[in-house]
Amino acid sequence: MSSKRLLLACLAVFVLCLADGAAARKPARDSGDPRPDTVGTYDYYVMALSWSPTFCQTRGEDEDDQCGEKGYGFILHGLWPQYEKGGGPERCETRDSGPDRGTVAQTLAFMPSRRLINHEWRKHGACTGLGAEKYFQTADRAFAALHVPPELKAPRQDLQMNGDELRTALKRANPQLGDDMMSLHCSKGQLVEVRVCLDKDTRLRSCGKRMRNACPASRPFEIPAVR
By annotation, the residues acting in catalysis are 77, 120, 124
Question: Torsion over CA of 138, 115, 75 and 200, rounded to 10 degrees?
Answer: 20
How far apart are alpha carbons 133 and 119 in whole angstroms? 15
How far apart are alpha carbons 112 and 95 in whole angstroms? 25
How far apart are alpha carbons 60 and 147 in whole angstroms? 28
Give DSSP secondary structure letters for 23-39: HHHSPPPPTTSPPP--T
The answer to whether the beta carbons of residues 218 and 80 sit under 8 Å apart is no
